[in-house]
């Protein structure tokens, strides 16, 4: 489903090879900045690679990415972050030796151009929104998994994203922890932040995603209303053979 988007992302004919392995094969994807898009698919389908491509983590072998009609294909991750697109990582990557507050302040200060006062305010907002006030002064390396995931989210939020790219942020959490995380993400949606969220825990993802994409072997095999995608025979065969988690 691709169409010109004056306020959002348009990715055309994306190709990414790692050596002889073709990981993204002519991907076409578009979204408005106010959408919540879920991405599912079997391990190795290319989901994280697509997210990385949208975030500007590497150069593509082919294709183009437009953000709000501006060509960002050649722009690096920090330039895209400045334009409002930022990602979280599947494995949280905080700066050890720094507190939660300091970690978020670094993102607020250097992720985007912000003066000291603004960065401080963005840091407080991101910490509050992520529910981390109670651990703001803890060292990052002492956090449990939920708080490490929250910190990953807080650091992304501190950059004031318009489109947030989430990579398996619920993975490894308990059911109760996932509920808390979904509440936070719903709040981001209320604030108008667009979301692309890769998640294997489909019932959690569906609480937020209004549109679902399924990838397999570097291709998008289905894209649309979540229940329609989940009952698509190709999706059932490629991904849901083991049932929905
Ligand atoms: N930097 C890299 N160098 C070489 N191969 C890579 C690299 N990154 C990913 N791959 C390969 O690309 C393929 C797609 O990986 P990717 O992580 O995008 O899949 P995924 O759909 O996100 O999988 P998962 O659900 O397991 O996270 C895999 O075969 C992976 O081994």
Cα gap 147→110, rounded to integer Å: 22
Ligand 1 neighbours, Cβ below 6 Å, are: 18, 21, 23, 41, 43-49
> pLDDT tens across 131-145, in order?
999 999 999 999 998
* 233 has pLDDT over 80: yes
Q: What is the mean pLDDT of residues 55-73?
A: 96
Domains of the chain: 1-84+161-245 (3.40.50.300), 86-160 (no CATH)
Query: How remote is the CA of residue 49 from the centroid of ligand 1, in Å?
Result: 6
| pLDDT for the residue 242 | 56
**Could you report the per-residue pLDDT of 201-231, keeping only the tens digit for each?**
999 999 999 999 999 999 999 999 999 999 9
Q: Select the more confidently predicted residue: 110 or 188.
A: 188
pTM of the complete model: 0.92
> How far is residue 126's CA from residue 141's CA, in Å, rounded to a whole number?
19
Instruction: Find out whether 196 and 29 touch, Cβ atoms under 8 Å.
Output: no
167-182 pLDDT, tens digit each: 998 888 888 889 989 9
What is the structure's pLDDT at 171?
85
Q: Quote the strand ranges of the chain, DSSP E.
A: 8-18, 21-32, 36-40, 62-67, 70-71, 85-87, 163-167, 194-198, 211-216, 219-224
Residue whose CA is closest, atom 8 of ligand 1?
Answer: 49
pLDDT (tens digit, 9 = 90+) per residue, 2-33?
A: 666 778 999 999 999 999 999 999 999 999 99
Sign of the torsion angle spanned by Cα atoms 15, 18, 20, 24: negative
- Quick one: pLDDT at residue 243? 54
Helix 145-157 crosses helix 175-190 at what angle (to 10 degrees)? Answer: 10
Question: For residue 215, what are its two tokens?
Answer: 């990838």
Ligand 1 center from residue 40 Cα (angstroms): 14
pLDDT of residue 177: 87
């Amino acid at each position: 489903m691709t169409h010109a988007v004056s306020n959002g992302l348009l990715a055309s004919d994306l190709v990414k090879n790692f050596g002889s392995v073709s990981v993204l094969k002519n991907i076409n994807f578009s979204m408005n900045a106010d959408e919540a898009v879920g991405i599912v698919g079997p391990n190795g389908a290319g989901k994280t690679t697509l997210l990385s491509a949208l975030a500007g983590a590497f150069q593509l072998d082919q294709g183009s990415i437009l953000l709000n009609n501006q060509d960002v294909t050649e722009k690096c991750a920090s330039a895209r972050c400045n334009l409002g697109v930022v990602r979280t990582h599947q494995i949280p990557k905080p700066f050890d030796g720094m507190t939660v507050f300091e970690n978020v302040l670094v993102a607020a200060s250097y992720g985007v151009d912000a003066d000291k006062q603004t960065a401080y305010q963005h840091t407080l907002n991101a910490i509050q929104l992520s529910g981390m006030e109670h651990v703001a002064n803890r060292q990052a390396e002492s956090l449990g998994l939920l708080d490490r995931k929250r910190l990953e989210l807080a650091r992304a939020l501190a950059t004031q994203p318009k489109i947030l790219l989430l990579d398996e942020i619920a993975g490894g959490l308990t059911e109760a922890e996932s509920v808390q995380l979904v509440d936070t993400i719903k709040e981001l949606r209320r604030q108008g932040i667009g979301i692309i969220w890769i998640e294997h825990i489909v019932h959690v993802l569906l609480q937020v995603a209004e549109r679902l994409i399924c990838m397999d072997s570097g291709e998008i095999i289905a894209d649309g209303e979540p229940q329609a995608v989940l009952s698509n025979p190709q999706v059932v065969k490629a991904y849901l053979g083991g049932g929905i988690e």
